[in-house]
Amino acid sequence: MEKRQSVWKFIPPGTVIGCAILIVMAFFPPLRSLLVFVALLVIGYTAIRYLVLLGDAEETIKALKAPEKQVKVQPEGPSFQEVLRAVPDPVMIVSGHEPDDIAARRVIFANAAAQMVFHLRSDGGPLVGAIRVPEVLECVDEALFGGITGSVDFETSGGARDQYWRAFSSPLPMENAHDGQRLALLVIRDETDSRRMERMRADFLANASHELRTPLASITGFIETLRGPARDDEKARDKFLTIMSAQADRMGRLIADLLSLSRIEMSEHVPPSGEADLALAVRDVVDSLSVLAQQKGVRLRVDGPKPGLYPIIGDRDQILQVVQNLTDNALKYAPVGSEVSITICFDMTLPQALSLSDKQAAKLILLRPDRNVHEHYARITVRDEGPGIKREFLPRLAERFYRVEGQKSGDRLGTGLGLAIVKHIINRHRGGLVVESQGPASANEDDILERDGKVAILPQTPQTFTAFSAYFPQTRAFGSAETPRLVSDSPMKDAG
């Protein structure tokens, strides 16, 4: 029944009636004079009716072939394009024409995250100008010209700040394509945090197992000795227990420093957005270390402006940790009766921050910030009058667990992580770290140092020192050159 109705739907009833009238008139000769007129009416009506049906059929076909209409998320809400702009991950729509024309790949839409991360304009631009990773470009080509959805991992590096990404590409349908234009969606996800967590766990296990092996073996050996030959030796027992306590303290410091370093590395790619007072941090550290300095017979001297005047871009707790580690490191190697000086300077350009404070010193830049990011820097220099470091040892100073040859025993025991922590904190702050040192002169040959691209032969000198300079970006220029400086000294315990 439904099939008959569907057939009669396309045959106009007037056409059927007209055909019946023509048949009747054919059998009655008196009515044949009207035959031509009725036939014309039937033909005209049928033609008009079929034209109307063909028009409706064409509209139905167009509606079926048309893509899904771009509707809003809500009747009165934002459009999908506005939603894409608010997505936190970089999202781009890439167009292409010919597979061999790589330069014609253009970004025709980029949300706010893509514009910020890949330095794109609001109207897009060439894809190769934003992303130069061959694997990502190949993944986009597969989506454009192969209709293949895929993903690829890639890495971007800016100095020591490596970031890990995953790019997803998918072809997009396009209505009324002109000149063979094709579209693809490119979504990029930042996976730096997850990668850093994986590496943090691996590094922690590797470093902990390596560095804790020695103190654990020492404690185990002493325990076996106390259970055996030294069981009844009270003097040996007290000595061994003292050593075991020192080794246990060392393991505690190792674990604390490893955890601190891992936390810093995990957020190293995210620069701080707050403000900190460098002069106040120095004062707090000097107050906390003044007792230790008196016990060692070392004077702490601070040369800088009063606290509360010049804020810098930074995390206060991490700035305190930098000053604490540098000052504590200087106190370890400062001889009795000497001085550890802490100097703070503001409104320094990058060349000024990297300049030498002592023309006869060997200098090495352990960390250099990206150029053209900040115009002014605040620098803190911590200098001790210790034995100094030979120039061949300078490149490895910020490595984990590295300690200079000849400085791994006595009262200078440490975890070897202090400078590594300092370097990673400064790197997060987009600052820099410079070391200057005058090590012991060689008895056989003169020291030949490369300084500012020139080789200079320096006379042997008995004076030795080591100075670490850390500099952090400022929020603006303060004009601190005209500001009176505050010089303070901590009391020094009589060495006699």
Which of 304-313, 397-406, 410-419: highest mean pLDDT?
Answer: 304-313
Q: Which residues contact 113 (CB under 8 A, 6 or more apart)?
A: 87, 88, 89, 90, 91
**Per-residue pLDDT at 187 exceeds 70:** yes
Identify whether residues 222 and 164 lie together within a single domain: no
CB 200 within 8 A of CB 266: yes
Hey, CA dihedral for 319, 321, 323, 325, is it positive or negative?
Answer: negative
* Residue 451 pLDDT class (50, 70, 90 cuts): very low
Q: Which of 206, 236, 270 is the last residue of a domain?
A: 270
Structural domains of the chain, count: 4
**Per-residue pLDDT at 385 exceeds 70:** yes
For residue 354, what are the CA distances in angstroms to 14, 367, 375, 468, 471? 98, 10, 13, 11, 9
Identify whether residues 144 and 276 lie together within a single domain: no
Does residue 478 form part of some domain?
Answer: yes
Element (H, E) at 469: strand 465-473
> What is the per-residue pLDDT for 482?
47
Q: What percent of the chain has pLDDT over 90?
A: 12
> What is the per-residue pLDDT for 71?
45
* Residue 83 pLDDT class (50, 70, 90 cuts): confident
Identify whether residues 202 and 331 lie together within a single domain: no
- Dist CA 331 CA 342 (whole Å): 12
**Per-residue pLDDT at 350 exceeds 70:** yes
Across the range 296-316, mean pLDDT stands at 88
**CATH number, domain containing residue 227:** 1.10.287.130
Identify whether residues 245 and 359 lie together within a single domain: no
Which of 141-145, 391-395, 481-485: highest mean pLDDT?
Answer: 141-145
Per the prediction, the chain carries an average pLDDT of 77
Residue with tokens 């209409």: 69
Q: What percent of the chain has pLDDT over 70?
A: 73
**CATH number, domain containing residue 414:** 3.30.565.10
Across the range 482-487, mean pLDDT stands at 53
Q: Which of 160, 190, 220 is the last residue of a domain?
A: 190
> What is the per-residue pLDDT for 380?
93
Query: What six digits make up the tokens of 347?
Result: 């409104």
Q: Which of 171, 190, 209 is the last residue of a domain?
A: 190
* Residue 353 pLDDT class (50, 70, 90 cuts): confident
Strands 339-348 and 299-304: what pairing? parallel
Does residue 494 form part of some domain?
Answer: no
Q: Can you give the C-alpha Rg of the chain in angstroms?
A: 40
Query: What six digits make up the tokens of 184?
Result: 């693809």
Does residue 75 form part of some domain?
Answer: no
pLDDT tens readout for residues 403-415: 765 554 445 556 7
Does residue 70 form part of some domain?
Answer: no
Identify whether residues 294 and 436 lie together within a single domain: yes
Query: What six digits make up the tokens of 302?
Result: 């601070």
**Domain enclosing residue 228, as ranges:** 194-270
pLDDT tens readout for residues 135-156: 898 999 999 888 889 999 888 7
pLDDT tens readout for residues 192-233: 777 777 776 776 667 667 677 777 888 888 888 888 887 778
Identify whether residues 52 and 144 lie together within a single domain: no
